Every structure is written in C-alpha cells, then in structure tokens.
Amino acid sequence: MTERHWQRKLVDAMVRGLCLVATLAALVPLGLVLYYVTSRGIGGIDRAFFTELPKPVGETGGGMANAFVGTLELVGLACLFGIPPGVLAGVYLAEFGERRFAKLVRFSADVMSGVPSITIGIFVYTLIVLRTKSFSAYAGGVALAVLMLPTVTRTTEELLRLVPESLREAALGLGVPKWRATLSVVLRTAAPGIATGIMLAIARVAGETAPLLFTAFNNAFWPTGLGQPTASLPVQIYTYAVSPYDDWHQKAWAAALLLVGMVLILNVSARLLVRPRVRSR
Amino acid sequence: MALLGAEVNVGDLVFRGFAALFAVSIVLVLGAMALQMWVAARPSIAHSGWHFVVGRDWDPVRDSFGALPFIYGTVVSSLLALTIAVPISLGVAVFLTEVAPPWLRSPVSFLVELLAAVPSVIYGLWGIFALAPFLRNHLEPLLGKTLGFLPLFQGPHQGFGMLAGGIILAIMITPTISSVSREVLRAVPDNLREGALALGATRWEALRHAILPYARSGIVGAIILGLGRALGETMAITMVIGNRADISASLFAPGYTMASVIANEFTEATGDIYLGALAEIGLLLFAVTLLLNVIARLLVWQVARAPEGARG
C-alpha cells in the first residue's frame, strides 16, 4: 500500500517536473533571441542609422532611415484600412449579431487569422499590384490591414461583451437611440481594452515580412509617394540577413534590435494597460 | 426600440447597416481570397494538371512545374516541428493551469506569448547566425554519432536544412499550441478536477483520468492550429531551410517549402504559367490551412465554448 502510494507520488512529482522543464525549454529560445539581438544589434545603432539612406553594395556606412519611414507609412495605412472596419464588424457581432450570420462572420474571422500571411500577399498582389502595375505602399497597407482585420474584430467583440448589460439598459432607458448608446456608452467603456488589443495587432503587423515582399516590395530611396514601392524594416532585415556582406549583417541586427524593441514595448505596455482593468472586474 | 412596433430610429438602421456591411466584408474578403487565387492559378492548373502535385522537376525555363519537393519540404518540416513542439507546448499548458503556483502563471504565460510576438524575420535572422552554426558544429555531429544508423541523421553537417527549419518552426508554434491548450484546460469544469482530487488522486492522476479526457478534442484542435501555422510560416523557415528543391531522407539536408518558393520566386516570375504555378502553390497552402483551421476551430469550440467573452 505505502509502496504504491510512494510510487504514485513519485510519478506525480516527475510529471510536474517535466512540465517545468518543458516551460523552461520553451522560454530558452526567447532568451537567446533577445540576447543575440541585443548584443549584436547595439553596436550598429548610431545617428547615421536613423538619418541616412542605405549605401550601395560595397560601401560601408549609411542607415535605413527610409525603412523607418516606410514602416510607419505601411502601418499607418494598415490602421486606416484595418481598424475602422474591424471595430465596426466587432460592434456588429457583439451588439446586433445573434443569429447564424454572426456565427458565420465569427467563424470566418477566426479562420482568416490562421491563413498564411504569404497567401495574403498573393491575394493583394493579384488584387492591387497587377491592376495598378506597380508595387506600392497602398498595396502593402492593404495586405497588413487584411492581416489585422480578424484580430481587431474579435478583440472588439470580446471586449464589448464584457461591458455590463446594465450600462446598455441605462442608456436606452434614458431614451437614447441604440446607435448613440453603442457609440458613446458601450464602445466608450470598452475603448481602453480595445485600444490595447489594437496595439497588439499593430505590434504583430509591424514585424510582418511575407505579405510585403510582393506588395510594398522594397526601395533604396526615400519614399516619394504612397503609390511607389516602399521599404520597410522587416523586408530590409530580410534582404540584409540573406546577403553575403558583413556590414549588411550588422545593419540587419541593428534593425532587428529596433523592431524587437518596438514590439516588446507595445506588448509590455498593452499588458500594463490591461492589467488593472482585468483585476477590477 | 421597435418593441411596440412604433417608430424605428433611422440612425439605428443606418448604424446597424454599416456595422453589418463590415461584418459581411470579412466573409467576402475570405471568399475573394479564394477566388483570386484560383483565378491566378488557373493557367497553371490547365498546364500542369496532376503533374503539379506528383512531379519532382521545377524548371521555370522549360515551363515544367512539379511542386512535390516543396510539398514534401513543407510536410516534413511541419511534422518535425510538431514532434518537437507538441510535448513542450502541452507541458507548458499543464504547467500554467495545473502545476505552477497562481502568482507565477500570469508572468510566465506573458513570456510565452512574447515568443509569439517576436517577428518571424527575427527568428530567421537568429536562425542564420546562431542556430544554424550551432547545429552544424554541435547538434548535428552529436546526432550523427549517436543516432547515425538512422537515415534521418546521415549525411554532411550543413546547419541549414530540414532540421534547422523544423526547430525554428517548433519555436514559433509552441506559443500557439500552448496558449490554445491552456485555454482548453481552463475551460474544463472545476468540479471534474476537484472531484478527482477529492477521491485521492494525485495532480497527475486527476489530469490523466479526469481532465485530459474532457479536453482531448480541444487539445487536438490546438495541435492542428499549430500545424496550420507551421505549414504557412514563411520568412523564418525560408532563411534557414537551405532552399534546395531536393527530396532527401536526411534531416541534415537542405529542403524547400511551399511558402519559401513563393517568397523567393514570386517577384521574378514571368509569364502566366510560372506566376500561375506559384499562385497554385499558394492556393494549395490556402486550402489546406483553411481546412485545418475549420477543423481545429470546431474542435476547440466544442470544449472551450467559453461563456461568451470570458477570456483574459
């Protein structure tokens, strides 16, 4: 009896230990990636990096200022094209959609978030680039927006559902039409949470490379307009990383450090923002 | 509202219409994606027929397109990734729901989520300069020495290859599988857990006999979601898998995936058939991941049909 008892305890302890080991194993790569990016990237960050254009092959120096601007442009366009539709679709699902149609939308959004980002690139290429006959910031922005859309929709829906029914009823009871109640009471109450979700979605698309390869493409010069091929940090990192030049590798690490820094800041601040709210619920 | 059949607010109608329009747009975008890709792929479907999925020769110059090496590379690297990631992810999920003290759960799950937040291209960069050299100089010689009798671990140590691809993918899908499984485990009713513990079961026995049976289909769903991620992942694996369209039994040998060939060749593709061939690969990838996602979502919804919005 007692022997069996100890045996069971032992198995239990072993399984728990294995779970701990698995968790540590999962986190090791995170630590390694952050360590490498920091230690290799820090040396490449100087003033020229932020202010100058990339130098042609063979010349050292230069920066990737155009890629910063390009990334900002692309992410800005993505927000413009992706957030309003996403939020409204989320509002529909949470406030109006009780029927089969809402289920279909919800399901499509979930499924869409699993579609490989490279196929979104092909989609936008055939949709926009082939028609306008040019790679452009617009095309890149649309690709990133498509990527954001399901996340924004589902986040909005979920957060709107957390808003207590009594708030809706109170507003409607005051004689406010439903659309006003939704916009200025329900949506407003959920706004901080939704903003957090959107921040996370932005963090995700800011680092996307695959859908940009054949939509925004790349550009060694300053962006001259949204209809032009546009450089971006992730694509630039890719180009430099697979090149054979040491100087470019160094630049790739530096850009990686910035990109990771940006993503981390967005993620950590999203968490800090959402934390107290969840607790007080 | 229209409860008494009296006035219907015009603003309400407009607002509702707008919101519904954008909700429809999600379904439409998904449909348009399928349609566009099918249209783009049609020249290739007509040109290559079944040869496309069974042929091994990819020769754009001669308009001969057999995508089997890419399909093989995608399947093998993804299965390898699952082999590594599934045990680890389930360990993480169990750790976060059953084992870890409550104060530790939220910081650790945040760290695991960060793993998913690191952009793919960064993993690729790290893969090129850190992982591949490590594999070439340490892990592959070790595997070759100990398990070299298996064809899987034979051949020259190159670093860049199927093994590197599988490991990178494993790192990237671990957060997906573990966070969905965690959600599923959390959705298991507490009285199952407590009932088992009250009967004198250890934590492991409660997990094994009460919790896992209930959560099984959800966990399978989580794994399928991870598989979908792995199949479609592009940048990181393109950067480490070696990009050679060979079919080799050895995991040390370079390979090529469907997503990688699209990434590498799409902008250079000239002619309808070549472009169509790449679009057809995209279409296959799209169809397979779509199917996997549908199955996975249904499985996960079955278990964790969270009391609407009870996440976070």
DSSP string, B90-118: HHHHHIIIIIS-HHHHHHHHHHHHHHHHS
Handedness of CA B189, B191, B196, B197 (dihedral sign): positive
- B1 inside 8 A of chain A by CB: yes
Distance, in Å, from the CA atom of B301 to the CA atom of B295, rounded to the nearest integer, reads 10
Q: How confident is the model at residue A96 (pLDDT cuts 50, 70, 90)?
A: confident
Of all residues in chain B, what percent are helix, strand and coil, respectively (each to 5)?
80, 0, 20
Q: Give pLDDT tens digits for B218-227.
A: 999 999 999 9
Q: What is the mean pLDDT of residues B50-71?
A: 92
Q: Which of A32-46, A48-62, A122-136 bottoms out in mean pLDDT, i.e. has the lowest?
A: A48-62
Q: What is the mean pLDDT of residues A141-148?
A: 96
Q: Are residues A54 and A149 in the same domain?
A: yes
Q: Are residues A29 and A83 in the same domain?
A: no
Q: Are residues A152 and A130 in the same domain?
A: yes
Q: How confident is the model at residue B307 (pLDDT cuts 50, 70, 90)?
A: very low
Which fold, B45-303?
A: MetI-like fold (1.10.3720)
* The two three-digit tokens of residue B95, written as one number: 């750790």
- B24 inside 8 A of chain A by CB: yes
CA distances from A257 to A34, A71, A91, B2, B121 (A): 8, 15, 37, 56, 12
DSSP, res A62: B
Residues of A in contact with B228 (CB under 8 A): 114
Distance of CA A119 to the CA centre of its chain: 17
Residues of B in contact with A11 (CB under 8 A): 202, 204
Q: For chain B, which residues make up each domain, given as ranges?
A: 45-303
Q: How confident is the model at residue A275 (pLDDT cuts 50, 70, 90)?
A: low
Q: What is the pLDDT of residue B305?
A: 63
- Does A32 contact B267 at a Cβ distance shorter than 8 Å? no
The whole-chain average pLDDT of chain B stands at 90
The whole-chain average pLDDT of chain A stands at 90
Nearest chain B residue to A149 by CA: give it: B26
Long-range contacts: B49-57, Cβ < 8 Å, 24+? Answer: B52/B277, B52/B280, B53/B284, B56/B247
CB A156 within 8 A of CB B19: no
Residues of B in contact with A89 (CB under 8 A): 19, 22-23, 25-26
Q: What is the mean pLDDT of residues A250-264?
A: 94
Mutation site for B-interface testing, chosen from A5, A6, A9, A19 by largest number of B Cβ within 10 Å: A19
3-state secondary structure of B207: helix
Q: Are residues A171 and A92 in the same domain?
A: yes
- pLDDT above 50 for B311: no
- pLDDT above 90 for A272: no
Q: What is the pLDDT of residue A279?
A: 42
Q: Are residues A96 and A199 in the same domain?
A: yes
Q: Are residues A262 and A178 in the same domain?
A: yes
Distance, in Å, from the CA atom of A206 to the CA atom of A78, rounded to the nearest integer, reads 9
Residues of A in contact with B262 (CB under 8 A): 118, 121-122
Distance, in Å, from the CA atom of B93 to the CA atom of B90, rounded to the nearest integer, reads 5
Q: What is the pLDDT of residue B7?
A: 62
Distance, in Å, from the CA atom of A186 to the CA atom of A176, rounded to the nearest integer, reads 12
The domain total for chain A is 2
**What is the CATH number for A203?**
1.10.3720.10
CB B151 within 8 A of CB B250: yes
* The two three-digit tokens of residue B282, written as one number: 């995209």
Q: Are residues A107 and A39 in the same domain?
A: no
Q: What is the pLDDT of residue A56?
A: 80
* Structural domain containing residue A26: 2-44
Distance, in Å, from the CA atom of A59 to the CA atom of A70, rounded to the nearest integer, reads 23
Nearest chain A residue to B123 by CA: give it: A33
Q: What is the mean pLDDT of residues A189-206?
A: 92
Distance, in Å, from the CA atom of A39 to the CA atom of B154, rounded to the nearest integer, reads 34
Q: What is the mean pLDDT of residues B252-269?
A: 93
- Does A259 contact B14 at a Cβ distance shorter than 8 Å? no
Q: Are residues A67 and A38 in the same domain?
A: no
DSSP, res B24: H
Q: Are residues A22 and A146 in the same domain?
A: no
- Does B124 contact A234 at a Cβ distance shorter than 8 Å? no
Q: Give pLDDT tens digits for B239-248.
A: 999 999 989 9
What is the percent of chain A with per-residue pLDDT over 90, rounded to a whole number? 68
Q: Are residues A73 and A134 in the same domain?
A: yes
The Cα of B155 is separated from the nearest Cα of chain A by a number of Å equal to 24
Q: What is the pLDDT of residue B308?
A: 36
- pLDDT above 80 for B310: no
